[in-house]
Structure 1
Amino acid sequence: MLQTLRNVATGGNTMTNAPSAPPQPSAGAAGMPPMPRDIGPSDSEIIPLRSTKINILKSGILIPLGVTAAVCIVLFSLSNFFQIMYVFAGYLLFCIFYAAYVYSGIRKSVFIYLIPFAIVYIELTTSLLSTFIFVFRTILPGGEPKSPGFLTTFVSMFFGAGLMEELMKAMPALIGLSIALRMPNDTANAPSTRYLDWLRVSTPLEGLMLGLAAGAGFIFVETLYQYVPNTVEQVAKSSGAGAGFANGFALLMPRVLHGVIGHMAWAGISGYFIGLASRYPGSLIKLLAIGWLLPSMLHALWNSSSHLGGMGTWVAGAITLFVFVGCFLKAKQLEAVRQGRAFIPTDSIIVGGAPLPVASGTLPERHATAWGGLSQVAAAFFQPKMATAPAGAFPAGALAAEPPAPQALQAAAVPRFTLSNGAERYGIVAGQTIDLAILFPGRGLASGALAEVTVHPQDPQAVGLKNMTTGAWAVTLDTGISTEVAPGRSVKLVANEKIKIGAVTIDVQAV
């Protein structure tokens, strides 16, 4: 029974030691505060354009809706059938590419990708095309197959369609690779060279996106300058102009949409490996060869799949789709690590367990297996660089001979610091052994400039970088104090710290 205390001064009011019920809202939905009745909507709510808290020009929805609106108005104003097809095909290709662009999360302007589109357009509509045809279809066995059959058709298509067309579509990414290898990142923002950064291919994702745009340009020219006009002309001779236009439009749709498992996908795969070559210049020839031969074989398989029966095109399309998606997701995951951002496991090829980001493929992926179709290919160039060094310590002298506790590694599994030099920026996590010469190529760092990301054994929040090179590092702390880190010893990472290795200065920033 609750004990009741009578308040004599108030003449009968009582208090109990039972908790009082929370006040109930006087109006509106349950649990919601009462709506004020004496305040109306603000001016920015009535006229959203006046709001200072939104920016329409920087909205991600403005470009696709604006392009759609413009295409709609243009289509209403056109009466020429071929002009309508040009606009419609261009719009479909834009939709496919823009979906990939948004999903990629790449930070370059979407308008930059008109450049690779234009490069391929020039290749296909000038005398350059004759040169390619002479080499691959006259000198090499890329002409019409001498006899029907899968093998002869595959060989012919491999040289005449695969190698030739994939090389043409790879040209924009190869130009970007040349820029990345010849122009150091720390000069990329100089006024005289800033424009070159538009086409720079420093990562697999940058190469893949350039490939997608080049593939879209190839589809546009090949479909609207060759296949559709030829179909319209042939059908019109026997069935009239109306039937010819109808058949031409019916051909346009699948040829454009085929880009996701055709020219855009093949060029994207090629661009992925070109981007890898930028990160691993020591494996340049091998990666460029894979990036040329693999999509060429997929291209030839598609072109000769009719000889494999009714399921041939399904099998060829499925193989291309899964290889391309595997490259796309891996490129996204590597880009997230490079930018020091967390990545979503379902958006990468990391499966099983908690993902552990690594810097540019210098360590094997922990608790993970690569997608099966790419695991053997990936094994050719994702070789772990393991190294050992004497047990080091932080400058304060705390011993680090024993490995950190599991909970310490778990606490540091998400990137907390980034290493950067020029435009390159990488997120790092505990347990990594990083080859700094691979992360920052072209800076003058010797191959094998290794550093290990460590955790203080007595403080899981303290992340350090162990010097595993043969020379001392010059470190400038955030306080401005300079110190030296000998080989085998570690420096505690803090924001705004600078680590100088030879002539290269690496900036440390918090995520």
Structure 2
Amino acid sequence: MYDRLTSIAFLKEISADQQGFDRAEIVATLGDRIITLGRDPSCDIAININLYGAVSRRHAEIRPIANKSFQGWEICDLDSANGTLINDRRLYGCYPLNNGDRIQLTKDGPQFIFELESSPDTRVGEDYSRRPQSQITSITLTKLLPIFSTGNDLWQKAYLLPGMTTVGFVVMMFAFLGQPQLFNLTISVYISLAAYYFVYQLCGKNKPWWVILGAAIFTAIILRSPILNLFLWFFYKVLPGNAPTGQVSFVSVLISMFFGAGMMEELLKALPVFLLWFMGLRLGKKWRSRIGISEPLDGILIGAASAVGFTLTETLGLYVPSIVQSVANQTASPEIAQLTGLQLLIPRVLGSVAGHMAYSGYFGYFIGLSVMKPSLRWQILTIGYLSSALLHALWNTSALVNFWLLAIVGGVSYAFLVAAILKAHSFSSKA
């Protein structure tokens, strides 16, 4: 590969000059020591957190390749939350660097060029993305049967589990044709899992599946327990949560929805988050991070999981049976009634990513933030609780006005959730 005596390696950071041309400024001369890139100030190349918050604290390393003789360098991703790209391709593990390789930390993060030369020029004048493709010199059994040679990559990089899960649910839906309740349960669980998986991938933090499932089941049980009656009494009798009657205005409906839907339901869905936070206080540091609530990403994940349990219970236990019964009474046609129920089920469950999951995940962000900043805990929790309740109330009230306003509120709610996830990455222990 490279001769240690004649080759000099540089890492250049790419930026645009005033005329819009790419400029590359040397940020490191590579030798026989490891160079660390990340937003932690202790890194050799410290990334500006205000410009690139999605970059992990210790994002990647450039290491000398140490064989019998020093031959070159490789870049290794340090299990970063948002990934490292080499020539626009996601890096998994390590990659031996070649002259002109373009390195990017996260999809929209800072870019660098690896160069081997003795007197580097600071202007980028070469298209480094055009690299020669490797040639196949022989046909082996592993090339003909790649499934037997991909190993762990098949699980870790190919999204095999989501694909197999989809196949399983498809088979179940075929099996439950003609059984509306089981069919509706199957399709609603699948859509909920898909929506949650989307949020889970955005968060980029591992959480045990049984903790996530437990949060969803816990909330579903609460909705079937006497605890719900206590919530209903307080928010509908003590507080003005009852829907107004007679001639109503947008503001009067918004107020009732704020107390009766927003505050009540967001507090109810936050119960498993608070419970895990309380349990984490009595666990060691390792288990607190794994099971409990130690940062905003934990709160988002558990809050969104709780919302899944709430959405499924509310949709399958209340809304779908009600509309099926109503349509059946009006049309005397069970088939039309079941079809109408399915038409309601799909948007309610699918929309949870911009609905219940968005509100609960957003409140969960503040719960996790309050754990990291206990001196301001009550102020943080109050802001998170009221803002998530307001988003929830706006969604419910907008449905009474028109669907365009409903779409806007849903988009804003989703934007709030994603913004919370991105901000949580900037001070996450995972990042």
Q: TM-score range by the shorter chain?
A: 0.5 to 0.7
User: Which of 212, 217, 223 is the equivalent residue of 2:309?
Assistant: 217
Counterpart in 1 of 2:251? 151
Q: Does 1:62 align with 2:155?
A: no
What amino acid is the match of 2:216? F
Counterpart in 1 of 2:264? 164
1:300-352 per-position Cα deviation (integer Å, ceiling 9, x unaligned): 111112455564323322332222221121112322xx34x5xxxxxxxxxxx
User: Which of 196, 205, 216 is the equivalent residue of 1:97?
Assistant: 196
CA distance in 2 between partners of 1:221 and 1:34 (Å): 55
Q: Does 1:135 align with 2:234?
A: yes
What amino acid is the match of 2:371? S
1:73-119 per-position Cα deviation (integer Å, ceiling 9, x unaligned): 11121131011011001101111111221222112234431111111
Contact 2:241-2:256 within 8 A present in 1 as well: yes
Contact 1:215-1:267 within 8 A present in 2 as well: yes
1:200-239 correspondence runs (5 A)? 200-239=292-331
Contact 1:173-1:210 within 8 A present in 2 as well: yes
Q: CA deviation at 1:161?
A: 0.7
What amino acid is the match of 2:259? F
1:204-353 correspondence runs (5 A)? 204-239=296-331, 240-306=333-399, 308=401, 311-335=404-428, 338-339=429-430, 341=431
Contact 1:166-1:292 within 8 A present in 2 as well: yes
Q: CA deviation at 1:183?
A: 3.3
What amino acid is the match of 1:305? S
CA distance in 2 between partners of 1:317 and 1:47 (Å): 46
1:17-96 correspondence runs (5 A)? 36=137, 39-41=138-140, 43-51=141-149, 53-54=151-152, 56=154, 58=156, 61-78=159-176, 79-96=178-195
Shift in CA distance, 284/80, structure 1 to aligned 2, threshold 3 Å: same
Shift in CA distance, 331/292, structure 1 to aligned 2, threshold 3 Å: same
What amino acid is the match of 2:362? I
What amino acid is the match of 2:170? C
Contact 1:175-1:199 within 8 A present in 2 as well: no
Contact 1:208-1:328 within 8 A present in 2 as well: yes
What amino acid is the match of 1:297? L
SS in 1 for 2:427: helix
Shift in CA distance, 33/176, structure 1 to aligned 2, threshold 3 Å: closer
Contact 1:146-1:152 within 8 A present in 2 as well: no
1:174-213 correspondence runs (5 A)? 174-180=274-280, 182-183=281-282, 187-189=284-286, 194=287, 198-213=290-305
Shift in CA distance, 139/54, structure 1 to aligned 2, threshold 3 Å: closer
Shift in CA distance, 52/224, structure 1 to aligned 2, threshold 3 Å: closer
Q: Does 1:112 align with 2:204?
A: no
Extract unaligned runs of 5+ from structure 2: 1-131
What amino acid is the match of 1:154? L
With the length of structure 1 as denominator, give the TM-score of the two structures. 0.55
What amino acid is the match of 2:321? P
What amino acid is the match of 1:274? I
CA distance in 1 between partners of 2:379 and 2:256 (Å): 24
Shift in CA distance, 33/135, structure 1 to aligned 2, threshold 3 Å: closer
Contact 1:173-1:199 within 8 A present in 2 as well: no
Contact 2:196-2:353 within 8 A present in 1 as well: no
With the length of structure 2 as denominator, give the TM-score of the two structures. 0.64
CA distance in 2 between partners of 1:50 and 1:215 (Å): 39
Contact 1:235-1:244 within 8 A present in 2 as well: yes
CA distance in 2 between partners of 1:99 and 1:314 (Å): 20
SS in 2 for 1:304: helix
Shift in CA distance, 331/47, structure 1 to aligned 2, threshold 3 Å: same
CA distance in 2 between partners of 1:246 and 1:330 (Å): 41
Q: CA deviation at 1:49?
A: 4.9
Q: CA deviation at 1:51?
A: 3.0
Report sequence identity in percent.
30
Shift in CA distance, 56/289, structure 1 to aligned 2, threshold 3 Å: same
Contact 1:204-1:271 within 8 A present in 2 as well: yes
Counterpart in 2 of 1:427? none
CA distance in 2 between partners of 1:109 and 1:286 (Å): 30
CA distance in 2 between partners of 1:66 and 1:276 (Å): 36
What amino acid is the match of 1:149? S
What amino acid is the match of 1:331? A
Contact 2:207-2:291 within 8 A present in 1 as well: no
Shift in CA distance, 134/60, structure 1 to aligned 2, threshold 3 Å: farther
Shift in CA distance, 46/229, structure 1 to aligned 2, threshold 3 Å: same
* Structure with greater contact order relative to length (CA < 8 Å, sep ≥ 6): 2
CA distance in 1 between partners of 2:213 and 2:134 (Å): 52
1:448-506 per-position Cα deviation (integer Å, ceiling 9, x unaligned): xxxxxxxxxxxxxxxxxxxxxxxxxxxxxxxxxxxxxxxxxxxxxxxxxxxxxxxxxxx
